[in-house]
Amino acid sequence: MRHRIFGTLNGRKLLCILILIMFLPLALNYAAKKSLRREPVIAEGVELLGKPLGGLTPAAAETVLEQIAAVHHFPPVNAVIDEKTKGVIPEINGLQLDVDATMTKILQAQKGETVTPHYRQVAAPVTLKDFPDYPVYQGNPAKKQVVFLINVAWGNEYLPDLLVALKEADAQGSFFLVGRWVEGNQKEAEMIAEAGFEIASHGYSDAISLQNADKETISADLRKATQVIESACKVKPQFFSPHRGELSPLVLQAAAEQNLRVIMWTLDTVDWQLPGVEKMLEKILGNVKGGDLILMHPTEQTPEFLRLVIPELRNRGLEPVTLSELLNPARQVKE
């Protein structure tokens, strides 16, 4: 029987079979390795900025990202002098698509996921620091933020409710304290600082006309205010707002020498005149825009004004933040 089987096979056929048997494991191993080396593809239905990426290889997706990055970016905006106010409008960073970081998010995306691009901040060449002795009347209008500037030299009885109104709304504000007031009302000053609000300087004495004072008087007033505020609130002010908005070249020079940025305002509630909450709302909401600095004080009408104005500001996409945050050049990005 065995001789019959082998007899039906000639030498050539037998040789071919033996060769196939010898090389079959090698062929299977090669196929398996090739399968393992196969480049993964992006999950089905993944999108970025309306561009479908599902099914693409990483190399192909990266090419698409580089094309998007070439056209989808925001250039930085330099700090500039406002010809109307003669104050400086702060810079804002640009945004550039970060291809590597975005590619990582795409590779990790699940089926049908819309990926949010990752950006890197691009600094502006000309910044607020290039204009140390210029006042600031507003933040960069590209930022969808506003600041409540709250000057405090009186109104102790209304401070607790004002702080509660801000806290209830999870909103921020920057408090400009008069040094002489802090000396006589240290508990109230500490209360503001301990509540987590930003502390700034409103000078030491509101009885001095800084606009008409010599530089030595101005410098001494600012220095004493900083010392008193830092002692009570455990924070050194970075910003200074002059009483009654009185400015002069000497005020600007003295403040700059003490690393204090002079802050003015864009909108004034004139709440100290008690015009009524409705009139204050009408004035502010009728004129407000991104980057505005809104002046107010602790009065009997201010807490209710805050409770009503904050939701309206947010409905317009404007968030009340600290002065430091508004003047920070980082551009807002939704990740």
Please state, in angstroms and rounded to a whole number, the distance separating the CA atoms of residues 148 and 93: 23
- Tens digit of pLDDT for each residue in 152-194? 999 999 999 999 999 999 999 999 999 999 999 999 999 999 9
Write down the pLDDT at residue 156. 97
Domain stop point among 129, 149, 179: 129
Within this chain, do residues 137 and 102 fall inside the same structural domain, yes or no? no
- Is position 214 within any domain? yes
- Is position 70 within any domain? yes
Pairing of strands 174-177, 198-201: parallel
Please state, in angstroms and rounded to a whole number, the distance separating the CA atoms of residues 65 and 102: 8
Kindly report the length of the chain: 335
Within this chain, do residues 186 and 252 fall inside the same structural domain, yes or no? yes
Within this chain, do residues 95 and 152 fall inside the same structural domain, yes or no? no
Within this chain, do residues 289 and 170 fall inside the same structural domain, yes or no? yes
Q: Read off the DSSP letter of residue 136.
A: B
- Is position 51 within any domain? yes
Within this chain, do residues 109 and 204 fall inside the same structural domain, yes or no? no
- Is position 253 within any domain? yes
pTM comes to 0.83
Domains identified in the chain, total number: 2
Element (H, E) at 63: helix 58-71
Please state, in angstroms and rounded to a whole number, the distance separating the CA atoms of residues 162 and 298: 7
CATH code of the domain in which 315 resides: 3.20.20.370
Domain stop point among 129, 146, 166: 129
- Is position 137 within any domain? yes
Within this chain, do residues 93 and 159 fall inside the same structural domain, yes or no? no
One pLDDT digit (tens) per residue for the chain, 335 residues: 445 544 455 666 655 565 556 655 655 565 545 444 455 789 999 999 888 998 899 899 889 889 888 888 889 999 999 999 999 999 999 999 999 999 999 999 999 999 999 999 999 999 999 999 999 999 999 999 999 999 999 999 999 999 999 999 999 999 999 999 999 999 999 999 999 999 999 999 988 899 999 999 999 999 999 999 999 999 999 999 999 999 999 999 999 999 999 999 999 999 999 999 999 999 999 999 999 999 999 999 999 999 999 999 999 999 999 999 999 999 987 65
Within this chain, do residues 111 and 142 fall inside the same structural domain, yes or no? no
Domain stop point among 70, 101, 129: 129
Measured between alpha carbons, how far apart are the two ends of the chain, in Å?
Answer: 78
Within this chain, do residues 109 and 148 fall inside the same structural domain, yes or no? no
Q: Which residues pair with 81 in a beta bridge?
A: 88
Range of the domain at 196: 132-327
Element (H, E) at 215: helix 215-233
- Is position 121 within any domain? yes
- Is position 18 within any domain? no
- Tens digit of pLDDT for each residue in 22-33? 655 655 565 545
- Is position 29 within any domain? no
Q: In the Cβ-directed half-sphere of 42, how many Cα atoms lie within 13 Å?
A: 28
Within this chain, do residues 279 and 255 fall inside the same structural domain, yes or no? yes
Write down the pLDDT at residue 29. 60
Quote the Cα angle for 166-169-172, to 5°: 45
Within this chain, do residues 181 and 234 fall inside the same structural domain, yes or no? yes
Within this chain, do residues 56 and 190 fall inside the same structural domain, yes or no? no
Within this chain, do residues 107 and 143 fall inside the same structural domain, yes or no? no
Place of tokens 């002046």: 295
